[in-house]
Amino acid sequence: MELFLQQVIAGLSTGGIYACMALAIVMIYQAIDQLNFAQGEMAMFSTFIAWQLLQWGLPYWVAFFLTIAISFLVGIVIERVVFKPLKSAPVLSHVVIFIALFGILNSGAGFIWDFTVKTFPNPFGTKPLFGQSVISIHDAGMIVVISILLVLLFAFFRYTRVGLAMRATAANPDSARLVGIRVGWMIALGWGMAAAIGAVAGMMIAPVVFLEPNMMLSILLYGFAGAVVGGLTSPFGAVVGGFSVGVIENLAGTFIPYVGRELKLTIALALIVAVLTVRPSGLFGRVVVTRV
């Protein structure tokens, strides 16, 4: 029983990271109807920025918030410079640009910081919480940070005017324009926020997976799995999906013989296929009906 509980909590803490990636993916999907394959690499690059700031001697939390701010601005710049001119380009152009962005960020990080694996500090320490072994203080810290982030995001979308404008833009961009919402800037803001959320995820998971240019590859796949399970049209679903994927992969890795650590990723991929086959719009997604 204690093992089970331990694995659920460990699953929730990595699940929080997947939830963040899933949320970042969904936010961009809602804004431009495309899957951002480079989301993970953006998060990885942000984490390197944080590492660099720490190397320069900034205290952890200063580097943490500074990285979020930088990532937010860079996300906006990427949208304005690269994707805004592409807005009526065909899907394939977007896909190619995403792949290019992926490659540029990946080899760019390798070029600047080289490909050796680096340790990334863990702000919470590694001791077990309350002297028990059920949950480590890093898992607990991760869950707390991610929860705060999710609550803040929820409050932003639910209670602020800009949040309402962003929801309206996602729901119906034509109508949003008719009430004077500057839709282009809402999309840019979505990019900035997605980049910032990814940065948090990257900095939280880096002490576990270690810092190197390919660190986010599997994390992004889990994020996609979470987004697909929850439904690409539902931010709430993406968060639930991310947490579920974290718990499921952990339990399966522990309790199903032969799965072990190696096949965990396979489970995430199997989940994507299964959900898309049975319920293409995801658990919380809505079916989009288009009139022709």
Partner 1 sequence: MRQILLSARHLRAFYGTTRVLHGLDFDIAEGGVTTFLGANGAGKTSTLRALSGMIETTGEVRFRGQAVAGKATEELARLGIAHVPEGRGTFGRLTTEENLQLGAMARSDRAGIAADIARVYGYFPRLSERARQQAGTLSGGEQQMLAIGRALIMRPKLMLLDEPSFGLAPLMVDEVYTILRKLKEDEGVSMLLVEQNATAALALADRAYLMETGEIVMSGLARDIGRDENMRRAYLGY
Site residues for partner 1 per CB under 8 A: 161, 164-165, 167-168, 171-172, 174-183, 286
C-beta closer to partner 1: residue 170 or 245: 170
Question: Do the Cβ atoms of 46 and 195 come closer than 8 Å?
Answer: yes
- Closest separation in Å from C-beta 164 to partner 1: 6
Residue 289 has what DSSP assignment? P
Question: Do the Cβ atoms of 25 and 223 come closer than 8 Å?
Answer: yes
- Closest separation in Å from C-beta 167 to partner 1: 7
C-beta closer to partner 1: residue 167 or 279: 167
What does the CA dihedral 120, 123, 127, 129 come to, rounded to 10 degrees? -140
C-beta closer to partner 1: residue 99 or 155: 155
- Residues facing 211 on adjacent strands: 118
How many CB atoms within 10 Å of residue 7?
A: 17
Look up residue 176 and give its amino acid: A
- Closest separation in Å from C-beta 115 to partner 1: 45
C-beta closer to partner 1: residue 132 or 175: 175
Distance (Å, whole) CA 16 – CA 10: 10
- Closest separation in Å from C-beta 219 to partner 1: 30
Distance (Å, whole) CA 175 – CA 110: 44
Could you give phi then psi for residue 65, rounded to 5 degrees? -75, -35
C-beta closer to partner 1: residue 147 or 172: 172
Q: Copy the structure tokens of residue 125.
A: 């320490």
Residue closest to 167 by CA, chosen among 291, 73, 27: 27
C-beta closer to partner 1: residue 57 or 180: 180
- Closest separation in Å from C-beta 165 to partner 1: 6
Could you give phi then psi for residue 211, rounded to 5 degrees? -95, 120
DSSP letter for each residue of 203-222: HHHHHHH-BSTTTTHHHHHH
- Closest separation in Å from C-beta 286 to partner 1: 8
- Closest separation in Å from C-beta 88 to partner 1: 12
C-beta closer to partner 1: residue 60 or 156: 156
